[in-house]
Structure 1
Amino acid sequence: MVFSSLEFIYLFLPPVLLVFYLLRFLQWENGIVWWLIAASLAFYAWWSPIHLILLLFSVTANFYLHKVLLERKSRLVLTSGIIGNLGLLLYFKYADFLIGNVNAIAGSEIPLLGIVLPLAISFFTFQQISFLFDTYRGEIEQCNFSKYCLFVVFFPQLIAGPIVLQKHTIPQFTLKTFTQRVGLNFATGATLFVIGLFKKIVIADGIAPYSTSVFTLAEQGQALPIDVAWMGTIAYTFQIYFDFSGYCDMALGLARMFGIKLPLNFNSPYKAQNIVDFWRRWHITLSVFLRNYLYIPLGGNRKGPVRRYVNLTITMLLGGLWHGASWNFVFWGLLHGIYLSINHAWSAIGFHKNLEVFFHPLVIKVFYHALTLLGVMVAWIFFRAESFTGAETMLLSMFGQAGYIYPDIIKDLALDHEFFWFISCVIGFIIFFCPNSVEITRRYQPTIDYKSLLDKTHQLKARFIKAYAWRPSTNWSCAMLGVGVISLLQIYRLDELTEFIYFNF
């Protein structure tokens, strides 16, 4: 059951909201908290009832460690908690990966364990590690079990983030939050949810067949014509953008229906002028977690430039591995670590100031933007490909290995080139020139600290956003109703509903 499924929209969400409104009417704070916990656990159990036991064990064990750390600030207890959390993650997510690599290196035949990856284990593991860290550092005092449990399992953010910290949500689990401005909260949340549903079902899933077809051929070692290879790469670049953006919007919207604001996790990353800016916009909460709990403890930038670049690379390597047990993800992380190091070195040397003497600022801006986007697209190839062979085939094809020769196997795909390039122009316009959903709903504070995280480099569109920003009105209601109907009709047309890409991590 995904957010974009008919089961979720028709069978799960309405009764959860109805009971929530009833408990809100009764002014029963504890009842609301436990109801949302029960709904969240039912949502998780829909995927895998057996792994619900693991989730409950993890929540209970970490809450106990939290209580112990409140009594005494023991580094041993903190370390034990971190090792325990990471141990579960390593076993379920990376055991078979490690065994496979040992077999490949040593020529052994150790049988794989065939472990099924528990849904969301990467996300709830990171959240609970941060909670233990914050408890140890004295940033958390008393927290009752029900609110801690809801902090971990709250269904809008449980499966694929954002990675929330305790300061983001636990203070909001109060009757005052649940009961204020219920009509406006629902309208704002429903708007974000509908926008996200459209992004996922119509745009991301609509363009996915192009990327899937091309990458499948690349995995088979089939050299591709230049335009087809670029078509596959551009299609996946758009697909993952709108898939993750759609999920983030839907998560924000669902939480807001209950009066809860989540942190901003996606902020038009393809508008970034450099790779540092990209990571301030893409999966923001993961970037913050890696910075606060890995990069800074490693030494950050406090021990000289060389150590800084090493720390950046290590952080991104592990960030890549967090996404999945595959060397492709590791290499994707390595690429971004190298990108970030080059970006910081370039800024430190100051060559960019010389460019401003010879070139118009707009030319420099466009060049940096294009270079950043190209680097991101190259990295996405390794993220999407199932093997290095597939990624290598894509890259070689993109840069002319097969020219424009069309084998029969390519012709059999029956890809509509003209339609693809037309729709790509439309999608590109949306990405680069239109306000995002947070900007559209900015009047009603759609996220936590949204003002400090909004794009401040595009002031020219500020008046446009202000003039056409969303508000509870007849016109906007009709527009969102139309968007929702289009999305639902598309769901009915699909042969099979696809999960969000980040559900796999």
Structure 2
Amino acid sequence: MLFNSYSFIFIFLPIVLVGYFVVGRIGARAPVIWLALASLVFYSFSNWPFVALLLGSIAFNYLVGWLLISRRLRAGPRFAVLTLGVTGDLLTLGIFKYAGFLVANFNAVFSTSIAVNILLPVGISFYTFTQIAFLVDAYRGKVAHYALPHYALFVTYFPHLIAGPILHHSDMIPQFESAESKRPNPHLILCGLIIFGIGLFKKTGLADGIQPLVALAFNQAAPSFDQAWIGALAYTFQLYFDFSGYSDMAIGISLMFGIFLPLNFNSPYKAASIIDFWRRWHMTLSQFLRDYLYIPLGGNRHGRLLRYVNLMATMLLGGLWHGAAWTFVAWGALHGLYLCINHAWINYGPPIPARLARPAGVVAVLLTFLAVVVAWVFFRADSLASALSVLSRMADPGRIVFGHTELVQGALIAIYAAIAWFAPNTQAIMGYDHKNRSVGKDFSAWRARPILLYGGAAAFAFGVLGIQQHSEFIYFRF
């Protein structure tokens, strides 16, 4: 089931929302169980063959976590239990996500014809990483005892289950345990609806609206210089508004239940460096890779050379997390290289004179954006050869076929760029503060400035009108 579908907006969400607050009168756990069951129903609409896999994963990790939390085991057996749990999670992820990739490469190297056809469960990367973090923290002594219904909801919570954010137990389970979130809050419901409407418009109006231009670069054998750039930039902004829209919609849906999701997207194309970009793009994945991969590998604690090695290893695995293809490996490798260059510049680059700080900042934003666009070509292309072909066309200004059509397309790209670079993002407009659990503090001012309410209603209306028959979010396949 998609957030951007009539069945979700007008049937599923209202029923689940009303039911959540109705059963909240029965007892503290009733709404938790209701929401967990609703999340399984949501997942089963498009992925019913893998509901058993999801439930099995929850049971397995809860049991392993219980053993780690109980502290009935000594250090050696506890580490063995952690290893068993993480290995089980990674093995499951590996079989479903990477078996076909490994077999295809084996066939290519040894000229065999082994056939593997394994369907990829939607959301498996997200709920696997969520639970690995839970197990590692349980081993470190950072997890309290949680009831099974709360843990099950933590894993299956439908606003995040399909495409993130990657949730952290210490942030979410206390909210599920709180009595406040089980009572309807008109303010949070209204704010949630507005944020959801903004996200819906980003998806159906902006992301889906520019999608046809992507074909100029990636769906033809020999695009011209301008077509290659228009297609690459179109994908850059399609992915931006698609992921931004999903992130807003997830936050908006969750707010209606009185639950604050962590920010996962914060105007990444405004970043003035690749380091800054990864603090803004897929923020919860960046935090996971930092806390559970980069730092355990040694981080920056063993000298600068090993820091660069750890950065490359982390980003290569981060690329593979996104998909089982060499294009994603190349994308991760590029971002690893970018990060190494960024850190080297910080350590060895010349200081910027104060009088040049502003123009240098503009140049830094443009260079960062250009580096990201080049990497997105690998992210979108079907093969390394296709990606290199598009990049070669982008680097060949002798092949320009710039006419009226390309001029209009370029103007459309410029509008998208202006929105991404100069418009305030949703959390700034709404005053969304996940850490302090607040949103729209100055509600009285909204009444004095009804444009916010009317704007939210208009975004929701245009978003609904723009719904297509079947338009998945790009991150669904990760």
Q: TM-score, normalised by structure 2?
A: 0.94
How far residue 331 of structure 1 moved from its aligned partner, in angstroms, is 0.4
- Whether 2:19 is the aligned partner of 1:19: answer yes
- Whether 2:86 is the aligned partner of 1:85: answer no
> Helix, strand or coil for the counterpart of 1:265?
coil
1:53 corresponding residue in structure 2: 52
* Partners of 1:177 and 1:260 within 8 A in 2: no
Moved more, 283-292 or 63-72: 63-72
* Partners of 1:317 and 1:330 within 8 A in 2: yes
How far residue 175 of structure 1 moved from its aligned partner, in angstroms, is 4.5
2:333 corresponding residue in structure 1: 334
Q: Which amino acid aligns with 1:476?
A: L
Q: Which amino acid aligns with 1:70?
A: I
* Partners of 1:124 and 1:158 within 8 A in 2: yes
- Whether 2:466 is the aligned partner of 1:490: answer yes
1:424 corresponding residue in structure 2: 413
1:363 corresponding residue in structure 2: 359
1:100 corresponding residue in structure 2: 104
How far residue 446 of structure 1 moved from its aligned partner, in angstroms, is 4.4
* Partners of 1:263 and 1:449 within 8 A in 2: no
How far residue 395 of structure 1 moved from its aligned partner, in angstroms, is 0.6
What do residues 402-448 of structure 1 show as CA deviations (whole Å, max 9, x unaligned)?
A: 51258xxxx9xxx9323322222222221111110011111xx4423
> Helix, strand or coil for the counterpart of 1:17?
helix
Q: Give the Cα separation in 2 of the matches to 1:314 and 1:115.
A: 27
Moved more, 388-397 or 269-278: 388-397
Q: 1:62 to 1:473 in 2, by over 3 A?
A: farther
* Partners of 2:320 and 2:328 within 8 A in 1: yes
2:400 corresponding residue in structure 1: 404
In structure 1, stretches of 5+ residues that fail to align are: 452-464
How far residue 6 of structure 1 moved from its aligned partner, in angstroms, is 1.1
Report the aligned-residue RMSD.
2.2
1:206 corresponding residue in structure 2: 209
Q: Which amino acid aligns with 1:13?
A: L
Once the two structures are superposed, the pairs formed by residues 193-342 of structure 1 within 5 Å of their partners are 193-217=196-220, 222-342=221-341
Q: Which amino acid aligns with 2:247?
A: C
Q: Give the Cα separation in 2 of the matches to 1:268 and 1:346.
A: 23
How far residue 134 of structure 1 moved from its aligned partner, in angstroms, is 0.8
Q: Which amino acid aligns with 1:436?
A: N
Q: Give the Cα separation in 2 of the matches to 1:146 and 1:269.
A: 36
Q: Which amino acid aligns with 1:486?
A: F
Q: Give the Cα separation in 2 of the matches to 1:350 and 1:331.
A: 26
What do residues 231-281 of structure 1 show as CA deviations (whole Å, max 9, x unaligned)?
A: 001100100000000000001111111000011110000000000000000
Q: Which amino acid aligns with 1:282?
A: W
1:4 corresponding residue in structure 2: 4
Q: Give the Cα separation in 2 of the matches to 1:473 and 1:327.
A: 51
Q: Give the Cα separation in 2 of the matches to 1:390 and 1:264.
A: 34
2:476 corresponding residue in structure 1: 503
* Partners of 2:69 and 2:138 within 8 A in 1: yes
> Helix, strand or coil for the counterpart of 2:170?
helix
Percent identity over the alignment? 45
Moved more, 150-159 or 480-489: 480-489
2:434 corresponding residue in structure 1: 447
1:481 corresponding residue in structure 2: 457
What do residues 118-175 of structure 1 show as CA deviations (whole Å, max 9, x unaligned)?
A: 0100000000000011111111121110000000000000111100110110000135
Q: 1:199 to 1:470 in 2, by over 3 A?
A: farther
How far residue 106 of structure 1 moved from its aligned partner, in angstroms, is 1.5
* Partners of 1:199 and 1:245 within 8 A in 2: yes
- Whether 2:33 is the aligned partner of 1:34: answer yes
What do residues 447-481 of structure 1 show as CA deviations (whole Å, max 9, x unaligned)?
A: 23589xxxxxxxxxxxxx99998679744332222
* Partners of 2:243 and 2:473 within 8 A in 1: yes
* Partners of 1:441 and 1:471 within 8 A in 2: no
Counterpart of 1:154 (choices 154, 157, 182) is 157
Q: 1:395 to 1:165 in 2, by over 3 A?
A: same
Q: Give the Cα separation in 2 of the matches to 1:377 and 1:106.
A: 35
Q: Give the Cα separation in 2 of the matches to 1:466 and 1:424.
A: 35
Q: Give the Cα separation in 1 of the matches to 2:209 and 2:366.
A: 25
2:189 corresponding residue in structure 1: 186
Q: Which amino acid aligns with 2:12?
A: F
* Partners of 1:273 and 1:365 within 8 A in 2: yes
Q: Which amino acid aligns with 1:201?
A: T
Q: Aligned residues, how many?
A: 472
Q: Give the Cα separation in 1 of the matches to 2:449 and 2:21.
A: 23
In structure 2, stretches of 5+ residues that fail to align are: none
1:382 corresponding residue in structure 2: 378
How far residue 214 of structure 1 moved from its aligned partner, in angstroms, is 2.6
> Helix, strand or coil for the counterpart of 1:143?
coil
* Partners of 2:298 and 2:310 within 8 A in 1: yes
Q: Give the Cα separation in 1 of the matches to 2:19 and 2:288.
A: 34
How far residue 483 of structure 1 moved from its aligned partner, in angstroms, is 1.5
1:75 corresponding residue in structure 2: 79
* Partners of 1:128 and 1:152 within 8 A in 2: yes
Q: 1:45 to 1:110 in 2, by over 3 A?
A: same
* Partners of 1:2 and 1:499 within 8 A in 2: yes
* Partners of 1:440 and 1:469 within 8 A in 2: no
Q: 1:237 to 1:432 in 2, by over 3 A?
A: same
Q: Which amino acid aligns with 1:96?
A: G
Q: Give the Cα separation in 1 of the matches to 2:3 and 2:120.
A: 20
